[in-house]
Structure 1
Amino acid sequence: MHKPDGRPQVVAHRGSSMARAEHTLAAYVQAIEDGADALECDVRLTADGHLVCVHDRRVDRTTNARGLVSTMRLEQLSDLDAASWKSPWADLDDESVEVDEEFNRVLTLARLIEVVRDYDRVLELAIETKHPTRYAGMVERTLVDMLWKHGWTGAGAPVRVMSMSGVALTRVRRLAPEMEVVLLIEGQSWKVTRQALGDDWIAGPGIEQLKDKPKLGRRLREDGRRIHVWTVNTEADLQICLDLGAEAVITDIPDRVLSWLA
C-alpha cells in the first residue's frame, strides 16, 4: 500500500459519491480530479460472470430499472441509466455539461482497473466483495483471476480486498497469499473482532462503531493493527481517525478531507 507522507491515505468511497452518482465512471473521474489517493468500490457478479461495481443486491435504488444484479447479464446492466437518480432534473438544466454516456452507466470492475492502471499518477483500489451472494466463492475466485492477469496479486500491488466476511477474505488469501485484505467491522464486539482477524489482516472499523465503542479503536491500536476507517465525512470524524493513527480514511468527499488534512 502506498501511504502519503504525514497523513492517511484518502480513499474515495464509491468515487466522489457526494458529488456524483456512486460507482459510475463520472464519480471515479471526479475523485481522481479531487486528488484521491485510492478508489473504493463494491463488486457483485452478474449472471454471465462479470464483476460490476454495484453496492446493493438489487439495481432499484441506483438505476432506472428493477432486478437482482445476480440474475442479470452484463448486456442488460450496460443499458441502464445509473446516474439520473442522483440529479433527476439535469435534463432541464440548460447549463449542465453534456458527458459521454459511458460515464453514467453501470461500471465494470475491468473498466475501473483500466482507469487506475493507465492514470499518470499513483492510484490504488480498495475492492469490497459483497456477501451473502448466490455465487459464494466464485466472487473471490473471479476477482483474484482478474487481478492476476494484471500482475496485481503479489506484494506491493496497488489493490486490496475488503469484506465483512472473514470467510471471503480467507478465500482471497488462499488464492493470493500476499494480497492485502481488510476485515470490515460493524457491530462486532472486540472479542469477536479479535477472533475473526487474521494475523496480518488490516482492521476496517466503521466510524460509527468507533464513536459508539471507543475501546475498540484503542484495542485495535494496542494490538498493533493497521486501521482503515469508513465512512469519514466530517472534520470531527477525521480527527478520531488521526488520533488512532489510521492508515487510510474512506470518504464520500475526498476533496474536503484533503483540504482538512492540509
Structure 2
Amino acid sequence: MRPQVVAHRGASHDNAEHTLGAYVAALDAGAEGLECDVRLTADGHLVCVHDRSLRRTASHRGTVSTMELAELAELDFASWKNPWADLDDEAPERDAEHDKVLTLRKLLEVVADYDRRVEIAIETKHPTRYGGLVEKRVVELLRDFGWDGPGTPARVMSFSYTALQRVERLAPDIPLVMLIDRVEFWPMLRRVIGDDWIVGPGIDELTEHPRFGQWITRSGHDMHVWTVNTPTQLELCRELGVKAVISDRPAYLLELLDN
C-alpha cells in the first residue's frame, strides 16, 4: 500500500511556508494531507507559524506570542521566499490574502470545503508561554468542526509527550503522532506512549540508523515520517511500510508514486 502524501507547511519547496498560497498549491497538486505548526497569539488565536520569532518569515523583530492577530495580519509572510518577485514582469499577479498570516480556523475551513477528503496534521510547538492552553484551543477548534470524534480527518502531532497526553485526555478519539528527532529517545518513549499512537521519526534518523525503522515497525506502531523529499528517502519509507510521508514537495512525491 502506498503512503499518504502530506504537504509539509503546504507545498513549501516552491511557496512560502504556512501561507494560504502554499496550501492551495498543495491541494491543486493532489496532496492527500496538509501539515501545519500552530502557535497562540497574545489574544488567543491559533496561527500557522513554525518559529517563535517572526524574523525569518515576516522580517519582523516580534514574537508570535506577544502580538495580536490584527498586528500579525499587517505583516507579509511570503516575500522572504522570493524577494525579487516584484522585478519579474512575467510573474502572475498574486492574491494578497494568500501571503498573509494564516489562522488554523481558516485552514480548517479550506479543508472542510474541499471537494475530496483531505486530512490535516496539526503540530503544537513547545515550549511556549501558554503551555497546555495551546492543546486546549486546538481541541476546541476541532470540536467546532465536529472533528473530535471517530473518523476525524485531523490528527495532532508534537515532540512533547505531555502535550499529546493533554489532547488524549480532552479528546480520546483524535489520533496522536509522537514526533521523534533523536533515535536515543525511542527506548523510553516506546514504554510510555499509547498503544494506538502513531510514531513520527525524521527521515534523517531513519537513514542514519537503519535499525531504527525496524524497531518501530516491530513495536506495532504506524509510522508517519518527515521530511521526505527525494526518491531515495521515499523508497526507504516504502520498504518500511510507512503510512504517511510529510514532504515539502508533494507534487514531486505523488509523481514518483504514480510512476
TM-score by length of 1: 0.96
1:70 partner SS: helix
**Please, which of 231, 241, 247 is the counterpart of residue 245 of structure 1?**
241
Maintained 8 Å contact 2:195/2:221: no
Maintained 8 Å contact 1:197/1:203: no
Amino acid at match of 1:222: R
Aligned length: 257
2:200 partner SS: strand
Distance in structure 2 (CA, Å) of the matches to 1:148 and 1:193: 28
Maintained 8 Å contact 1:163/1:183: yes
Alignment correspondent of 1:213:
209
Deviation string 1:21-71 (CA, Å, 9 cap, x unpaired) is 000000000000111000000000000000000000011100132211000
Distance in structure 2 (CA, Å) of the matches to 1:17 and 1:199: 32
Alignment correspondent of 1:61:
56
Amino acid at match of 1:214: P
More helix per residue: 2
RMSD after superposition: 0.8
Alignment correspondent of 1:151:
146
Deviation string 1:227-250 (CA, Å, 9 cap, x unpaired) is 000000000000110011000000
Maintained 8 Å contact 2:58/2:76: yes
Distance in structure 1 (CA, Å) of the matches to 2:247 and 2:192: 25
**Please, which of 121, 127, 141 is the counterpart of residue 136 of structure 2?**
141
Amino acid at match of 2:98: F
Deviation string 1:201-224 (CA, Å, 9 cap, x unpaired) is 000000001112221110111111
Distance in structure 2 (CA, Å) of the matches to 1:11 and 1:211: 20
1:62 partner SS: helix
1:133 partner SS: coil
1:1-262 equivalences in 2 (<5 Å): 6-189=1-184, 190-262=186-258
Alignment correspondent of 1:3:
none
Q: Tell me how far 1:196 sits from its aligned partner.
A: 4.0
Give the fraction of aligned pairs with identical amino acids, expressed as a percent.
Answer: 58
Distance in structure 2 (CA, Å) of the matches to 1:210 and 1:222: 14
TM-score by length of 2: 0.98
